[in-house]
Amino acid sequence: MAVMTTPTLAITPADALIDEPRRIAITGLQPGETVAVSTHTVRGRDIAWASQADFIAAEDGSVDLERDAPARGSYNGVAPMGLLWAQRPVASDSRELFHADATRPLVTEVTVAAAGGEARGELVQRLAAPGVVREEIRVDGLVGTLYRPPGAGPHPAVMVLNGSGGGINEPRAALYASHGYAALALGYFKAPGLSDYISNTPLEYFERGLQWMHRELRPAHGFVALSGQSRGGELVLLLGATFPDLVSAVVGYVPGAVVHSAQNAADPAIGREGAAWLHHGKPLPHVWENNPDASWAPFDEGPAPHRHERAILTALKNAGAVARARIRVEQIRGPVMLLSGTDDGSWPSSLYSRMVADKLAEAGHPYPVEHLDFEHAGHAILFPYVPTTQAVYAHPVSRRISTTGGTPEANAGADEGSWRGVRAFLARAVAARKQAAGD
């Protein structure tokens, strides 16, 4: 008769930055026995997220998530971090992955249930590395949060811009700072003291932010990059083209190639076909403007889950409107990185990224241009090892229900691949800037 032993759970490393992969392994099992592994994480506004999977122990009585696929559970196939990206909120439709305080780590309880008993462990994910300093910025009308890396510096800098949900993207800024960048997460609506809507946002606001970064941060080699997602991805391309002397590199997550109207983040009094961006007090031409082909019907009346991308594609049928609204990306004076998903439900980021890359190639852009296009991924490309399951959601401004697209597996792959690519891209851009500056 086999002697029952108590299982042992090892999580390596147990405590690290959120983008560091972990090895989850279990020993002390009976060969061939089924073992249940579950996770529990409190995220956002104290909402529990959970996942579960059953594994079959190997002949040596072990389970290793780097080697073994679950027999059943929250994800399929070999995925060392599957128990994290496959998490879903418990009795909630929450999409808030992080605490309001980005310096507060995420703690995941991992529980192993086997015939010989239970084993428990904690997996701690940090956005802010030891020594990263957080500072609220309320100056020159700017509303944001600055994360400084450890050490005196100077450091290269990144401005981080959110999408149509608004707010201040502190998680991404904290992670940039953890990798050596002075990162200003700048709010431009739905942030303290600012409008609740994207409508009629002046580009001069971001110009002041860039000037403040150059003046106050005195970044290494004068390097200030822009990093934005969705509407923020549209915005960083627009800012790079409008203020090229202030921008050293552009990272566009699921960006737009054209200027859009205010869309789902619009002030209801103005409407979703009103302008999002102003420059010198005048609205920028957008793709919905004077566009007889543009229609919201494929989004509003299409089958559930509604895909905003279907409406955007109607607007792109009109070549004249696209030409008028096209972002003049050839005016950017620095390297450009584009990240997209082929199943983007919010807008056609793959197509938009190709449009940008093609225009830069046609113009003979003298800086590197990189495009990572992730097969079957959707609009919500973030960074590694966070849940990717909540694609259907109510927009935080319009409350319209839609899907960002993609499968959890593909979205998890895009999270991992995009962040690896962005880190390498920025490192090369900083090195090139240093060499050009003769530092």
Averaged confidence pLDDT in the chain:
96
In the predicted structure, residue 434 carries a pLDDT above the cut 50: yes
In the predicted structure, residue 234 carries a pLDDT above the cut 70: yes
Mean pLDDT of 226-250: 98
Burial class (CB within 10 angstroms; exposed 0-12, middle 13-18, buried 19+) of 105: middle
pLDDT of residue 301: 93
- For the stretch 217-232, pLDDT in tens is 999 999 999 999 999 9
Percent of the chain with pLDDT over 90: 93
What are the distances in angstroms from CA 142 to CA 146, 186, 187, 193, 232?
11, 7, 8, 10, 16
Q: List the domains of the chain with CATH numbers.
A: 8-126 (2.60.40.2240), 133-437 (3.40.50.1820)
- For the stretch 175-214, pLDDT in tens is 999 999 999 999 999 999 999 999 999 999 999 999 999 9
Mean pLDDT of 373-393: 96
Per the listing, tokens 């700017």 go with 142
Mean pLDDT of 380-386: 97
- For the stretch 125-149, pLDDT in tens is 999 999 999 999 999 999 999 999 9
- For the stretch 306-360, pLDDT in tens is 999 999 999 999 999 999 999 999 999 999 999 999 999 999 999 999 999 999 9
Per the listing, tokens 């200003």 go with 184
In the predicted structure, residue 396 carries a pLDDT above the cut 90: no
- For the stretch 97-128, pLDDT in tens is 999 999 999 999 999 999 999 999 999 999 99
Alpha-carbon span 104 to 116, nearest angstrom: 35
- Give the catalytic positions in this structure: 230, 344, 379
pLDDT of residue 43: 96
Q: Which residues touch 414 (CB under 8 Å, ≥6 apart)?
A: 339, 341, 374, 377, 381, 406
pLDDT of residue 1: 45
Could you please report the per-residue DSSP string of 191-225?
STTS-SS-TTEEHHHHHHHHHHIIIII--GGG-EE
Percent of the chain with pLDDT over 70: 99
Instruction: Judge whether 253 and 418 are in contact, CB under 8 Å.
Output: yes
